[in-house]
């Protein structure tokens, strides 16, 4: 905050407190009756008369206490413009302390499972470890991949055995640690609307569904020229690029004719965030064990 705005905030804040206090004291002083009275101020509404009584003492003192509390707070904590408060408290510092506390107390719980392999963690003996993995999953991943891991439109299902990038331990860990970004270009500018519809028939053909044979035949050479580099000549996809298998019945963005055509027109770019700074290696190990368990039953 610039010095001007810092002053602006400080002056207004203090002026309001001083102003309220002055108002309180001034009205108390000008009050003609310092003790309880039967005299009215003359207002009457709906048969209710307003007596000219002073404000209750407890109310007055409560108000004074809030003023003192407010001033004390402004001395101790940040509140007056750029003044940091004499305690030096910041929300970042408090957050860091809480994180450090959590690391110290919970890290050993995660660490006791780091020496167990992913396979060992699937055993009933180590069910507690898998449950921790499940809770970490629920907190960090379920928002996108669903509480049961079954995914949603644009978010891959983790319970099937169809992987964009691969379902082995090293690949899952890489996915979680580094994040992923699918890159499927938009084809409308290249293929034109006619070409998009032809190509959609070809994709239907790849997954063995009803299609227009003439359209699919027209699109085939273009698939080999434009798409095979990522989706492979037979359409089975490529893990290294996260290019989905187009020959099965699993769809990230929907397998209806209109949905496929839309994918081809506009392109797709799913983003899996990186958890490098959010989770420790031990936590990622437990989540990986849990994710692995999802596609094993
Ligand atoms: C903000 C949403 C989001 C969150 C949170 C998220 N993911 Fe993902 N995840 C995605 C998307 C989107 C993809 C697909 C990326 C792509 O299209 O290339 C993905 C891909 C994956 C894959 C690769 C699947 C495959 O078929 O190869 C795995 C494994 C995965 N996520 C696990 C996790 C785990 C474990 C967590 C929690 C630590 C998590 N994700 C949190 C959105 C998310
Ligand atoms: C540069 C590599 C690349 C090329 C070239 C490419 N794709 Fe893709 N395609 C991908 C990736 C990566 C995804 C997944 C996008 C995501 O994860 O968000 C994808 C997704 C798709 C999907 C959605 C699949 C689903 O499960 O919903 C279809 C359909 C598709 N591509 C068809 C094609 C066709 C047809 C062509 C050629 C005209 C083509 N792709 C060219 C990389 C490519």
pLDDT tens digits along 252-276: 999 999 999 999 999 999 999 999 9
Report how far residue 19's alpha carbon sits from residue 16's, in angstroms, rounded to the nearest whole number.
Answer: 5
* Overall residue count recorded for the chain in this entry: 297
Taking CA atoms only, the protein residue closest to ligand 1 atom 20 is: 272
Confidence at 1, pLDDT banded by 50, 70, 90 = confident
Take residue 50 and report the two structure tokens written for it: 């307003």
Nearest-ligand number for the alpha carbon of 261 = 2
Confidence at 35, pLDDT banded by 50, 70, 90 = confident
Confidence at 25, pLDDT banded by 50, 70, 90 = very high
Ligand 2 centroid to residue 70 C-alpha, Å = 60
Confidence at 109, pLDDT banded by 50, 70, 90 = very high
Q: In sequence order, which residues have a C-beta less than 8 Å from that of residue 12 and are 6 or more positions away?
A: none
Confidence at 296, pLDDT banded by 50, 70, 90 = confident
180 CB within 6 A, ligand 1: yes
Distance of CA 133 to the CA centre of its chain: 19
Ligand 1 centroid to residue 164 C-alpha, Å = 10
- Arithmetic mean of pLDDT over the chain: 94
244 CB within 6 A, ligand 2: yes
Ligand 1 nearest-atom number relative to CA 290:
35
Cβ distance 188 to 267 under 8 Å? Answer: no
Residues of the chain with pLDDT > 70, as a percent, come to 100
Report how far residue 229's alpha carbon sits from residue 252's, in angstroms, rounded to the nearest whole number.
Answer: 20
The residue-averaged pLDDT of 39-56 equals 86
**Residue 250 pLDDT greater than 70, yes or no:** yes
Query: What does the pLDDT read at residue 51?
Result: 87
292 CB within 6 A, ligand 1: no
Cβ distance 135 to 270 under 8 Å? Answer: no
Taking CA atoms only, the protein residue closest to ligand 1 atom 8 is: 272
Ligand 2 centroid to residue 207 C-alpha, Å = 14
273 CB within 6 A, ligand 1: yes
Confidence at 37, pLDDT banded by 50, 70, 90 = confident
Taking CA atoms only, the protein residue closest to ligand 1 atom 37 is: 141
User: How many CB atoms are located within 10 Å of the residue 143 CB?
Assistant: 10
Query: What does the pLDDT read at residue 297?
Result: 62
165 CB within 6 A, ligand 1: yes
Take residue 34 and report the two structure tokens written for it: 């310092």
Query: What does the pLDDT read at residue 38?
Result: 83
Taking CA atoms only, the protein residue closest to ligand 1 atom 34 is: 141
Report how far residue 216's alpha carbon sits from residue 239's, in angstroms, rounded to the nearest whole number.
Answer: 25
Report how far residue 82's alpha carbon sits from residue 227's, in angstroms, rounded to the nearest whole number.
Answer: 58
Q: Specify which of 34-38, 43-47, 55-59, 253-257 reaches the highest per-range mean pLDDT.
A: 253-257
Distance of CA 192 to the CA centre of its chain: 37
Report how far residue 10's alpha carbon sits from residue 254's, in angstroms, rounded to the nearest whole number.
Answer: 57
Tens of pLDDT, residue by residue over 132-181, are: 999 999 999 999 999 999 999 999 999 999 999 999 999 999 999 999 99
Ligand 1 centroid to residue 156 C-alpha, Å = 7
116 CB within 6 A, ligand 2: no
272 CB within 6 A, ligand 1: yes
253 CB within 6 A, ligand 1: no
Report how far residue 19's alpha carbon sits from residue 238's, in angstroms, rounded to the nearest whole number.
Answer: 71
Nearest-ligand number for the alpha carbon of 203 = 2
Report how far residue 270's alpha carbon sits from residue 184's, in angstroms, rounded to the nearest whole number.
Answer: 9
User: How many CB atoms are located within 10 Å of the residue 56 CB?
Assistant: 10
Taking CA atoms only, the protein residue closest to ligand 2 atom 34 is: 227
151 CB within 6 A, ligand 2: no
Query: What does the pLDDT read at residue 27?
Result: 87
**Residue 33 pLDDT greater than 80, yes or no:** no
């Amino acid at each position: 905050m610039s010095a001007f705005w810092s002053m602006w905030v400080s002056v207004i804040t203090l002026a309001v407190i001083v102003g309220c206090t002055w108002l309180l004291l001034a009205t108390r002083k000008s009050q003609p009756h310092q003790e309880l009275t039967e005299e009215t101020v003359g207002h009457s509404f709906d048969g209710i008369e307003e007596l000219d009584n002073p404000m209750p003492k407890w109310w007055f003192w409560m108000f004074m206490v809030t003023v003192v509390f407010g001033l004390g707070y402004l001395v101790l904590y940040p509140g007056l413009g750029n003044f940091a408060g004499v305690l030096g408290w910041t929300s970042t510092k408090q957050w860091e302390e809480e994180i450090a506390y959590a690391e110290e107390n919970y890290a050993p719980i995660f660490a006791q499972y780091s020496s167990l392999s992913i396979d060992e963690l699937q055993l009933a003996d180590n069910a507690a470890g898998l449950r921790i993995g499940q809770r970490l999953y629920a907190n960090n991943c379920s928002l996108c991949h669903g509480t049961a891991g079954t995914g949603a439109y644009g978010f891959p299902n983790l319970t099937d055995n169809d992987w964009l990038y691969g379902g082995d331990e090293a690949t899952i860990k890489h996915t979680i640690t580094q994040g992923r970004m699918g890159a499927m270009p938009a084809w409308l500018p290249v293929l034109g609307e006619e070409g998009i519809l032809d190509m959609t028939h070809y994709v239907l053909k790849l997954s063995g569904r009803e299609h227009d044979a003439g359209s699919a035949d027209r699109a085939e050479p273009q698939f080999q020229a434009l798409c095979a580099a990522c989706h492979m000549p037979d359409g089975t996809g490529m893990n290294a690029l996260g290019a989905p298998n187009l020959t099965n019945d699993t769809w990230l963005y929907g397998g209806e004719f209109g949905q496929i055509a839309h994918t081809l027109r506009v392109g797709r770019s799913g983003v899996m965030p990186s958890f490098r700074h959010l989770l420790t290696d031990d936590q990622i190990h437990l989540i990986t064990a849990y994710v692995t368990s999802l596609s094993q039953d």
